[in-house]
Amino acid sequence: MFRVLLVLLLLLMGSCSSFAGPSARADAAAAKPPVLVQVSDKKFTEFYEDILLHNRAKNVNLHLEKVNEEPVEGEAYDIYLVAAKRPNASDKKSALIQIFTNKAGYVVRVGLI
């Protein structure tokens, strides 16, 4: 299970072209709070396609499937869900990826369950 989560994290980091390291986070902590936060300059569909491309290019061999085609509407963010699982693995060894988008449609946060 840990390996699946680690692979998912690395997969998601690889698809985020704007992933910032620790020094950027330290600089950001001293700045004023942003009005609009994004982890990617991509909307959900582009972000999801990049995850699929990365999965194939690196031969990660994860089965990724959208749980919902339309986002779960929220007050500040909308949520898309993606299920990730290795072929022949039990459901207990799977993960659910939450991809949050702001109201402009851009990816702002990614969560793993």
Residue 28, pLDDT score: 52
Q: Please state, in angstroms and rounded to a whole number, the distance separating the CA atoms of residues 22 and 66.
A: 31
Beta bridge partners of 95: 84
Question: pLDDT tens digits for 75-113?
Answer: 888 999 999 999 888 878 899 999 999 888 999 989 898
Q: Please state, in angstroms and rounded to a whole number, the distance separating the CA atoms of residues 106 and 111.
A: 15
Q: Please state, in angstroms and rounded to a whole number, the distance separating the CA atoms of residues 102 and 24.
A: 21
Residue 91, pLDDT score: 78
| Encoded tokens for 57 | 């290019």
Domain count, the chain: 1
Closest CA to 100 of 91, 13, 84, 75: 75
DSSP alpha helix (H) spans, the chain: 2-15, 22-30, 44-57
Question: pLDDT tens digits for 29-68?
Answer: 555 554 556 788 899 999 999 999 999 999 988 999 999 9
pTM as predicted: 0.65
- Which residue segment(s) compose the domain that 89 sits in? 2-112
